[in-house]
Structure 1
Amino acid sequence: MLTIKPHQLLFSFTLFMGILIAISSSSWFILWMGLELNLLSFIPILTSSSNRYSAESALKYFLIQALGSASLLAACPMSLIFPHLSVFIIFTALLLKLGAAPLHFWFPPVMQGISWIQSLVLMTIQKITPIAMMSTLISNFSTSIIMFSSIISSLVGALGGLNQTLTRKIISYSSINHMAWLLAAIMFNERMWLIYFLCYTLISASVVSILHSNQIFHFNQLLTMNLFSKPLKLSLFLSLLSLGGLPPFLGFLPKMMIIQEFLFSQTSIIWLTILLFSALLTLFFYLRISLSSFILASPKTKTSFLLNSPHTFLILPFLNLSPLFYPLILFFMY
Structure 2
Amino acid sequence: MSFPVSYIIFFFTLILGTIISISSPSLFGAWVGLELNMMSFIPLITIKMNSYYSESALKYFLIQALSSALFISSSLLSFTFLLISFILIFLALLLKLGSAPFHFWFPQVMEGLNWPQVFILSTIQKLAPMILLSYLMINNTLIKITLISSMASALFGALGGLNTMYLRKMIAFSSINHLSWMLIAISLSDIFWMFYFLIYSLILLSITSSLFSMQAFTLSSIAQLGTYSTFNSLLMSSTFLSLGGLPPFTGFIPKWFMIQIMMNMNLFVPLAILILSSLLTLYFYLRVVIMFIILSNPVMNFYLKYDSRSHNYSLPLKMFFNFLGVLLPVYLFLI
Q: Give the TM-score range, shorter chain.
A: over 0.9
Amino acid at match of 1:110: V
Partners of 2:242 and 2:322 within 8 A in 1: yes
* Unaligned runs of at least 5 residues, structure 2: none
Q: Deviations over 1:132-159 (max 9, x none)?
A: 0001111211011111110110000100
Partners of 1:225 and 1:233 within 8 A in 2: no
TM-score, structure 1 length as denominator?
0.93
Paired position in structure 2 for 1:90? 89
Indicate whether 1:110 and 2:102 are aligned.
no
Flag the 1:177–1:29 CA change in 2: closer, same or farther, 3 A. same
Flag the 1:19–1:186 CA change in 2: closer, same or farther, 3 A. same
Paired position in structure 1 for 2:14? 15
Number of residue equivalences = 329
Paired position in structure 2 for 1:321? 323
Structure 2 CA distance, aligned partners of 1:306 and 1:244?
Answer: 28
Partners of 1:23 and 1:133 within 8 A in 2: yes
Flag the 1:281–1:306 CA change in 2: closer, same or farther, 3 A. same
Corresponding residue to 1:301 among 300, 303, 323 = 303
Q: Deviations over 1:250-299 (max 9, x none)?
A: 10000000111101122x21110000000000011112321243136534
Amino acid at match of 1:235: L
Partners of 1:49 and 1:115 within 8 A in 2: no
* Unaligned runs of at least 5 residues, structure 1: none
1:203-282 pair list within 5 angstroms: 203-266=203-266, 268-282=267-281
Partners of 2:63 and 2:96 within 8 A in 1: yes
Flag the 1:292–1:309 CA change in 2: closer, same or farther, 3 A. closer
Paired position in structure 2 for 1:196? 196
Name the % identity. Answer: 44
For the residue of structure 1 that corresponds to 2:103, the secondary structure is coil
Partners of 1:51 and 1:115 within 8 A in 2: no
Structure 2 CA distance, aligned partners of 1:82 and 1:186?
Answer: 24
Partners of 2:31 and 2:68 within 8 A in 1: yes
For the residue of structure 1 that corresponds to 2:308, the secondary structure is coil
Flag the 1:241–1:7 CA change in 2: closer, same or farther, 3 A. same
Paired position in structure 2 for 1:176? 176
Paired position in structure 1 for 2:80? 81
Structure 1 CA distance, aligned partners of 2:130 and 2:301?
Answer: 46
Structure 2 CA distance, aligned partners of 1:305 and 1:130?
Answer: 41
1:35-54 pair list within 5 angstroms: 35-54=34-53
Indicate whether 1:137 and 2:133 are aligned.
no
Structure 2 CA distance, aligned partners of 1:276 and 1:59?
Answer: 35
For the residue of structure 2 that corresponds to 1:79, the secondary structure is helix
Paired position in structure 1 for 2:158? 158
Over aligned residues, Cα RMSD in angstroms? 2.0
Amino acid at match of 2:156: V
Structure 2 CA distance, aligned partners of 1:271 and 1:243?
Answer: 20
Structure 1 CA distance, aligned partners of 2:227 and 2:15?
Answer: 39
